[in-house]
């Protein structure tokens, strides 16, 4: 069995970290940010949210430097709070990546339906998920190259369009500074965090990067790029079309494209929506499959998920598992139409993980003082504590928005806990027995098969 190849560079780390957050569903979230503040000041809240995510990325960076592994977040939690907590929260965390696929495919099919209404929406789900799965099966080099092209194309497109919209609409400086008050800014920033969701999913690539130190750098650069891109694009969008008009649609960017360039704009933005979704899908598959691979390798999931393709050095069954789960959640979302609730569930799980990572940094500072830390969060415990407080307040805000999210997450957590208590011990026991059976027994002297002299 071959191992994972160390071929991922800083360019792909940045593209993967930023690409996970560049989903089509983020346009609606950006409009929500704009609605919560006065004037054209959405960029202020986007900046505040970006700063908070930078602080969170520092916590991820310290932990990733200590334990660079495909197990990523699960390993960080295990070192801080024990194996059972790690498995339970790790399984719970998988729900975030899965929950995001449903809304993304639902919105994407709505976007494509504006120009190709005769094609059943689910056909596009199969096409896009299938293409991304095939790319990932062919190896991390190809998947990384595809991620680079898609992410940097999307970033460039959004910045150029945003600047053009701002310039042609004549937005004034007073409008861009009129926030309506500090309370509005932070309320909008809570929603704005969703624009960065998934930046940390690059940590499972730790065993495939050319140098583990590039992951912290890549995450921070990616957040900075996302901050600039969304601040410019959302400002341009609400400068051309009123916030009230955009807020009632789940595809506000298509309305924006139509207002900016007419029918040609619709086609251009449909193409860019497809690219945005594929960027997010590809980043998700890259990292989600590595997380599953590590869980299989550590007997948290069946060992079959740790198998590596000899030809392409990719976690074959982990990628197929990611494809299957993504397809199932997409079917659920299309049949139920509950895409917004799934977005809130995904956001809430992410917020919990950001909080747990900050708590892990705090705990390990006391329990593993002498462990080498290639990267260390500056300022002692101030930044982790600020992160805990901010994201806990944000979590309460999400529950206030839809209390059903709390009950859904409680149910998922109970299922993950039961799984942790019952399944991994049996998987580990079965694996140990197989290993014992493979060890050849020593032959006794003079026994059958020994030579007589």
Q: How far apart are alpha carbons 318 and 5 in whole angstroms?
A: 16
Q: How far apart are alpha carbons 230 and 46 in whole angstroms?
A: 7
Give residue for tokens 């449909």.
270
Q: How many CB atoms lie within 10 A of CB 65?
A: 19
Q: How far apart are alpha carbons 30 and 28 in whole angstroms?
A: 5
In this predicted structure, what is the pLDDT of residue 398? 77
Domain locations along the chain = 11-430
CB hemisphere CA count around 83 (13 angstroms): 9
Render pLDDT for 292-310 as a digit per residue (tens, 0 to 9).
887 888 788 888 887 877 7
Q: Answer whether residue 138 shows pLDDT above 90.
A: no
Smallest CA-to-CA distance from 379 within 397, 358, 400 is with: 358
Q: How far apart are alpha carbons 24 and 20 in whole angstroms?
A: 11
Residues whose CB is less than 8 angstroms from the CB of residue 173 and which lie 6 or more positions away in sequence, other chains included: none
Percent of the chain with pLDDT over 90: 11
Q: Which two tokens stand for residue 28?
A: 């609606």
Beta strands in 24-102 (DSSP E): none
Residues forming a β-bridge with 209 = 8
- DSSP helix/strand/coil, 370: coil
SS (H, E, C) 240-256: HCCHHHHHCCCCHHHHH
Render pLDDT for 84-100 as a digit per residue (tens, 0 to 9).
888 888 888 776 667 67
Domain 11-430 has CATH 1.20.1740.10: yes
Q: How far apart are alpha carbons 151 and 340 in whole angstroms?
A: 24
Render pLDDT for 31-86 as a digit per residue (tens, 0 to 9).
888 888 877 788 888 998 899 899 998 998 888 888 877 667 778 888 888 888 88
Smallest CA-to-CA distance from 108 within 129, 92, 87, 77 is with: 129
Q: Answer whether residue 1 shows pLDDT above 60.
A: no
pTM of the full structure: 0.78
Dihedral Cα 403, 407, 412, 415, nearest 10 deg:
170
Q: How far apart are alpha carbons 66 and 338 in whole angstroms?
A: 39
Residue 318 in contact with residue 293, Cβ under 8 Å? Answer: yes
In this predicted structure, what is the pLDDT of residue 229? 93
Residue 413 in contact with residue 92, Cβ under 8 Å? Answer: yes
Q: How far apart are alpha carbons 196 and 145 in whole angstroms?
A: 22
Percent of the chain with pLDDT over 70: 87
Smallest CA-to-CA distance from 102 within 327, 323, 274 is with: 327
Q: Residues 246, 404, 57, CA angle at the centre, nearest 5°?
A: 70
Residues whose CB is less than 8 angstroms from the CB of residue 208 and which lie 6 or more positions away in sequence, other chains included: 4, 5, 6, 7, 8, 70, 140, 290
Segment (H or E) for 416: helix 404-438
């Amino acid at each position: 069995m071959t191992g994972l190849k160390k071929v991922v560079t800083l360019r792909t780390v940045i593209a993967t970290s930023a690409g996970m957050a560049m989903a089509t569903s983020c346009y609606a979230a950006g409009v929500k940010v704009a609605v919560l503040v006065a004037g054209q000041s959405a960029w202020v809240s986007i900046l505040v949210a970006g700063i908070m995510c930078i602080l969170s990325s520092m916590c991820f960076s310290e932990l990733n430097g200590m334990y660079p592994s495909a197990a990523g977040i699960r390993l960080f939690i295990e070192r801080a709070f024990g194996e059972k907590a790690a498995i339970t929260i790790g399984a719970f965390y998988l729900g975030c990546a899965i929950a995001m696929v449903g809304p993304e495919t639902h919105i994407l099919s709505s976007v494509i339906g504006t120009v190709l209404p005769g094609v059943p929406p689910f056909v596009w789900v199969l096409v896009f998920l299938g293409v991304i799965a095939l790319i990932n099966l062919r190896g991390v080099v190809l998947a990384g190259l595809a991620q680079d092209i898609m992410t940097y194309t999307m970033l460039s497109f959004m910045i150029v369009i945003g600047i053009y919209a701002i310039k042609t609409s004549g937005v004034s400086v007073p409008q861009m500074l009129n926030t309506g008050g500090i309370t509005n800014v932070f309320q909008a920033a809570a929603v704005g965090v969703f624009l960065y969701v998934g930046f940390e999913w690059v940590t499972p690539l730790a065993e495939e990067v050319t140098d583990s130190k590039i992951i912290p750098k890549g995450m921070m650069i990616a957040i900075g790029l996302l901050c600039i891109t969304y601040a410019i694009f959302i400002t341009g969008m609400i400068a051309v079309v009123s916030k009230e008009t955009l807020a009632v649609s789940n595809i506000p960017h298509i309305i924006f494209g139509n207002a900016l360039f007419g029918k040609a704009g619709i086609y251009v933005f449909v193409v860019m929506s497809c690219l945005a979704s594929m960027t997010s899908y590809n980043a998700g598959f890259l990292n989600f499959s590595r997380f599953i691979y590590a869980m299989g390798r550590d007997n948290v999931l069946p060992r079959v998920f740790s198998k590596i393709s000899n030809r392409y050095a990719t976690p074959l069954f982990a990628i197929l598992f990611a494809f299957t789960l993504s397809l199932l959640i997409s079917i659920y979302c299309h049949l139920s139409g509950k895409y917004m609730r799934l977005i809130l569930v995904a956001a809430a799980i992410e917020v919990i993980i950001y909080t747990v990572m900050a708590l892990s940094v705090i705990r390990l500072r006391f329990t593993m003082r002498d462990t080498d830390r290639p990267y260390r969060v500056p300022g002692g415990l101030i930044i982790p504590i600020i992160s805990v407080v901010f994201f806990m307040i944000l979590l309460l805000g999400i529950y206030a928005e839809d209390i059903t999210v709390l009950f859904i997450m409680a149910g998922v957590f109970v299922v993950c806990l039961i799984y942790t208590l019952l399944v991994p011990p049996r998987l580990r026991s079965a694996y140990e027995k197989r290993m014992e059976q493979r060890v050849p027994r020593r032959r006794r002297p003079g026994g059958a098969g020994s030579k007589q002299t």
